[in-house]
Structure 1
Amino acid sequence: MARLPRWVSQHLAALRALLVLTAVTGILYPLAVLAVAQLPGLDHKAEGSLVYDEDGAVVGSSLLGQSFTDEDGNAIAAYFQSRPSMAAGENGDYDPLVSGASNLGPESVVDALPDPALGWDGDELATKSLLTQVCERSYAIGEREGVDGSRPYCTESGAGAVGAVLGVFYAEGTTGDVVRVVSLNEACDAVAAPFLAEYEGVPVECAVYGEDYAAAIVTPVEGDASGEPAVPADAVTASGSGLDPHISPEYAELQTARVAAERGASTEDVEALVEEHTTGRFLGFMGDPAVNVVELNLALDSVFPAGDEAGPVG
């Protein structure tokens, strides 16, 4: 019997390998993983770690955060609030498909101020720096929870708060005497006066829309706020994915009194519920303790109903 040409044998061997690997990796392996995922103790996670209300309806996943805000984006007082998220819309909607961070880093400290005729909502080119966003959130949360919302490098300004950042002009570019100082995040149309009257003996000016301050040396001002703010860091910054359902025990503690008052429960009872939904460090030494806000708020609705006006989880 004549042997097949060498090139035909090589192609047949490659075809056999393709068929075998397709069967193993494309059919057998996925089926094996699926079977293991259905074992007791693993099936809940395999199905998405879904959480249900008392009626058995799916209201979310313990792996994905949610917004507990009204249609105007304001926090619902009867619920513990999650971390800030790019997935949370201004109208209270929460879209987990919008996963990701803001791409703003630690050097994002200078705002792109809006056209005074359009304002922040109307000027698409205007952007708030990460620092200003953190400052705004901190002061807003402080007001909501009845604590001091100040933190280093932030200052109250106009109707809110901004990053306390100066643009310092020197006589010789980056050295020499200070000849001019501008509060870069405080627009003249928004403030009566900058947060500092003078810097190194030079009067501080407010920022004028459209003026170029690129030659200035960006100089954040720490201020006299405590280095350990009452508002925790996770309350004012988003997670890397923007979908984290967890907050720190410190942020949960900050909200306990408000939630207890809205629910008509004692602070001690709400604290106990928070403790039940607090997980420790992974393997005892990795990560930090965390509170799952979705599960906690669902438990609150079950144990201490707040009424229809609060709105259900999910």
Structure 2
Amino acid sequence: MPRSRTALRSGGVAIRLTLLSTVVLGIAYPLAVWGVAQVALPGPANGSLLRDANGVVVGSAHIGQSFAASKTVSAASAARWFQSRPSAAGTGYDANASSPSNLGPNNPTLTHAIDQAKAAIAKADHVDPATIPADAVTASGSGLDPDISPAYADEQVARVAAARGLSVTAVRNLVAAHTHGRQLGFLGEPTVNVLELNLALTALHD
């Protein structure tokens, strides 16, 4: 068989194999995985989106967001919400710039920021700076952590209750109801999803 015909035949086989692989692996397989996910786990498959009482998407259960005072949020308004842990992702909680601060524990910039954060939290929550949990003043490795420790959530209960005119017991019970235990009973630590907790807070009436 002439070499030209052999090369042409080999080229045809390669093209057909490429097309078949594209259809199977690039179209059929992704569609099959997407379809199974939509049936079995539609929530996580679509980003674990959380909605307010009006059905409006307000965020994802997997990405933290800020509830702190800012140029558009007054200190009084911020006091009504449970606060997230700090973020070093971009300008804060930026999913396109997920990262830690990359500052070592003895870095003066980090220690100064921690001292400032402790002072601010101590003033807002009326607590001893020495009792403030570590996650209240340090960012996570991703900068997107949506959870805080039950200790940090409990520390904020009195402030939130006072700002909303609710009883401490009612708010503390809400925190307990939204505390997630260890995975499989032994992996990780208990956590509180801040966005989920704040959404539930809006529906709480004393």
Question: What TM-score results when the alignment is normalised by the length of structure 2?
Answer: 0.88
CA distance in 2, matches of 1:20, 1:244: 41
Could you say what secondary structure the match of 2:58 adopts?
strand
Counterpart amino acid of 1:35?
G
Percentage of matched positions with identical amino acids: 51
Conservation of the 8 A alpha-carbon contact between 2:95 and 2:144: yes
Conservation of the 8 A alpha-carbon contact between 2:89 and 2:142: no
Conservation of the 8 A alpha-carbon contact between 2:146 and 2:193: yes
Which shifted more, 259-268 or 12-21? 12-21
Give, in angstroms, the shift of residue 249 of structure 1: 0.4
Conservation of the 8 A alpha-carbon contact between 2:63 and 2:93: no
Conservation of the 8 A alpha-carbon contact between 2:181 and 2:191: yes
What is the aligned partner in structure 1 of residue 68 from structure 2?
69
Residues 223-234 of structure 1 aligned to structure 2 (within 5 Å): 229-234=130-135
Could you say what secondary structure the match of 1:51 adopts?
strand
CA distance in 1, matches of 2:20, 2:106: 53
Counterpart amino acid of 2:181?
G
- Structure 1 runs of 4+ off > 4 angstroms? 1-4
Could you say what secondary structure the match of 2:50 adopts?
strand
CA distance in 1, matches of 2:173, 2:66: 23
Unaligned runs of 5+ in 1: 110-128, 150-228, 306-314
Give, in angstroms, the shift of residue 266 of structure 1: 1.4
Residues 116-265 of structure 1 aligned to structure 2 (within 5 Å): 129-149=109-129, 229-265=130-166
Aligned residues: 203
Q: Deviations over 1:157-206 (max 9, x none)?
A: xxxxxxxxxxxxxxxxxxxxxxxxxxxxxxxxxxxxxxxxxxxxxxxxxx
What is the aligned partner in structure 2 of residue 79 from structure 1?
81
Asked whether 1:97 is paired with 2:96, we answer yes
Conservation of the 8 A alpha-carbon contact between 1:65 and 1:294: yes
What is the aligned partner in structure 2 of residue 16 from structure 1?
16
What is the aligned partner in structure 2 of residue 282 from structure 1?
183
Conservation of the 8 A alpha-carbon contact between 1:252 and 1:274: yes
CA distance in 2, matches of 1:55, 1:10: 60
Distance 1:248 1:61, change over 3 A: same
Q: Deviations over 1:266-293 (max 9, x none)?
A: 1111111111111111111111110000
Distance 1:48 1:255, change over 3 A: same
- The structure where helix makes up a greater share of residues is 2
Give, in angstroms, the shift of residue 94 of structure 1: 5.9
Conservation of the 8 A alpha-carbon contact between 1:249 and 1:289: yes
What is the aligned partner in structure 2 of residue 303 from structure 1?
204
Question: What TM-score results when the alignment is normalised by the length of structure 1?
Answer: 0.59
CA distance in 2, matches of 1:3, 1:133: 72
Conservation of the 8 A alpha-carbon contact between 1:279 and 1:291: yes
Give, in angstroms, the shift of residue 139 of structure 1: 1.8
Indicate which of 259, 266, 291 corresponds to 2:167.
Answer: 266
- Structure with max Cα Rg: 1
RMSD: 2.3
- The structure where strand makes up a greater share of residues is 1
